Amino acid sequence: MSDATRGVSVSRRGFGLLAGAGAAVALTRGDAQATAPALRRAYLGTYTTQPGGGTGIGLASYRPRSGQLTSTGVVAGVQNPSFLALSPDRRTLYAVDERAEGAVTAVRVGAGAPEVLGPVRGTGGADPCHLSVHPDGRFLLTANYTGGSVSVHPIGRGGMPGEATDVVRHTGSGPDPERQKGPHAHMVVTDPGGRYVVAVDLGTDTVHTYRLDPRSGKLRELQRAAMKPGAGPRHLAFHPSGLHAYVVNELDSSVVVCGYERRSGVLTPGAPQSTLAPGTALAERNYPAGVLVSPDGRFVYVSNRGHDSIAVFRVECGGGALRLVSVVPAGGSYPRHIALDPSGALLFAANQKSGTVAVFRVDRGTGRLASAGAVFPAPVPVCVLPV
């Protein structure tokens, strides 16, 4: 079957198919009638080439009040969709194909059954592990981990990405002999103002700032912000003000508050602080992975793989400082990715090694997390995207 005609496999084993955006459930009490919140969609990324992995992009629904997840299908045939991103109009879902010949896949996810759009597009770099859509919806940005590069794809009519207009290869290395022999681009996003593209490179301990030319689709480097040698920066999240960014470092279990100049795109790293509570004893090495900011900008969350926890930080000084509030169990092993639902009331954690997605209720006043109930079984979940 060609990439252009791949369909959706419906299954109750593992991931299943969601019939629509959700249906309201009517409840009647006497002559009063209330309507429960509609079910919402969630998409799940996996590794299809690992033992116990999935067969494509997982589909699920969840209840916005309880966070309860239900498997509803799978978009079959997408290879190693380890990271997912939605277009601004929410009509197209994009997935990396994390493999030696890196590629990206587009899936139409409006009304009706999801449909894979073909053909897949090569990223020009090996093992893409992150992607994002420019806020204007015209470009798809991808970070190629083993390739050590960032690629740009123009997005055409119907959400279909075209051939890459640019592939920028990073250079350099770091002091960790196992993880930093060369560049490893791990994330690429657009800043809150939509002016600059920021790429995080674990292999070179560097965060790059680029200007994206909207006509040519090419990147021009403006700045390189150096992190602590051996820190291994993995992901970054901006404060809603656009004046600060938070970089999580995978190799030294730290998070760094960075100042950000919105006009120039200059990032200025501050001092690193631990993602674990003082005196924490570790049975194995800890590798922080995801970082995100609450919609109101009051809290920052970081996932810890190895310690298998989620750290909660209170944002202080207008975004310029973080104070550790609590560290809670992740509800599974190796929380690779965390995400908030659009309301900010629920936090989802994709626990890779335990094959579970845990859901937490977020206390809006304190930022603290409380388990929302039983975990959701999923094949090697490495990305969760609630919408």
The pLDDT, as a whole number, for residue 35 is 52
Q: How confident is the model at residue 302 (pLDDT cuts 50, 70, 90)?
A: very high
Burial of 165 (0-12, 13-18, 19+ CB in 10 A): middle
Which residue from 53, 61, 63, 129 is spatially nearest to 96, judged by alpha carbons? 129
Question: Can you tell me the distance from the alpha carbon of 149 to that of 125, in angstroms, rounded to the nearest whole number?
Answer: 6
User: Which of the pair, 111 or 90, is modelled with greater confidence?
Assistant: 90
Is the CB of residue 183 less than 8 Å from the CB of residue 148? yes
The stretch 205-216 carries a mean pLDDT of: 98
Q: Which band of pLDDT confidence, cut at 50, 70 and 90, is reported for residue 6?
A: very low
Q: Position of tokens 């990715």?
A: 337
Give yes or no for residue 10 having a pLDDT over 70. Answer: no
Q: Tell me if 353 sits within 8 A of 334, measured CB to CB.
A: yes
The mean-pLDDT minimum among 106-115, 190-199, 289-298 falls in: 106-115
9, pLDDT greater than 60: no
Q: From CA 250, how far away is CA 303, in angstroms rounded?
A: 10
Please check the confidence at residue 267 and state whether its pLDDT lies above 60.
Answer: yes
Q: In what side-by-side order are the strands of the sheet with 383-386?
A: 69-76, 56-62, 40-45, 383-386
pLDDT of residue 118: 86
pLDDT at 313: 98
